[in-house]
Amino acid sequence: MKLYYTPGACSQAPHIALNELGLAYEPVKVDLVKHTLPDGTDFYSINPKGYVPMLELDDGTRLTEVGVLLQYIADQKPGTIAPVYGTKARWQLMEWLNFISTEVHKGFGPLWNLQNAADVRERAVQALGNRFTFISKTLEKQPFLTGDTFSIADAYLWVVLNWADYHKVDLASWPAVQQFRARVAARPAVQKTLKAEGLVK
């Protein structure tokens, strides 16, 4: 498998999942500013969407979208970092994946555009705060989103929560969220991923 990624982007979630399971893969770094690969190849030529992540399977099949990649990777070792497909627990995990994607990941969208007016940023931060409050209610009761066990949903949430630092969004009002970040950051697979992406030494 090949994982096309950009350091610190949402592609970091499937990167963590691959390392959690100890799967063999080839990481391919994508320059999202120039939309090129390390050898100069135009990234659009292999992924018309132009963004990461993308997973290329050994048979040449290419998959995109974070939630899809996370589930594909998890299902290589069923029942480890995601409940077995078809169970109620799996549907509940998918509910979290969709919530993170549409409400938290995309919620950061307005903050990436530096041309947006201050009131746009303010409304985006307020909306994210509402999402953090919702998430916090779960994390106040249990260490991970689906219970006592780390899952692909936790990997995804952890990655997007880290964007709060970059955008100077204060998470102090949600101690359970801050504790979750520290808990996930301490995982060996997460540290391995950060090192592989050149984000820590």
pLDDT digits (tens, 9 = 90+) for 32-83: 999 999 999 999 999 999 999 999 999 999 999 999 999 999 999 999 999 9
SS3 79: coil
pLDDT digits (tens, 9 = 90+) for 144-188: 999 999 999 999 999 999 999 999 999 999 999 999 999 999 999
Entry pTM: 0.97
- Per the DSSP assignment, residues forming a β-bridge with 54 are 4, 64
What phi and psi values does residue 64 have, to the nearest 5 degrees?
-130, 175
- Euclidean distance between the first and final Cα of the chain, in Å? 25
CA distances from 171 to 72, 174, 196 (A): 31, 6, 27
Q: Minimal CA–CA distance to 45: which of 30, 27, 67, 59?
A: 30
pLDDT given at position 15: 98
What is the residue whose two structure tokens read 């391919």? 28
pLDDT digits (tens, 9 = 90+) for 80-131: 999 999 999 999 999 999 999 999 999 999 999 989 999 999 999 999 999 9
What is the residue whose two structure tokens read 């994607």? 101
Residue ranges with strand state E in the chain: 2-5, 26-29, 54-56, 62-64
Question: What percent of the chain stands above pLDDT 70?
Answer: 100
Residue 201 pLDDT grade (very low, low, confident, very high; cuts 50, 70, 90)? confident
- What mean pLDDT comes out for the span 194-201? 95
CB atoms within 10 A of CB 77: 13
Angle at 108 between CA 173 and CA 80, to 5 degrees: 80
- Cα distance between residue 24 and residue 2, in whole Å: 9
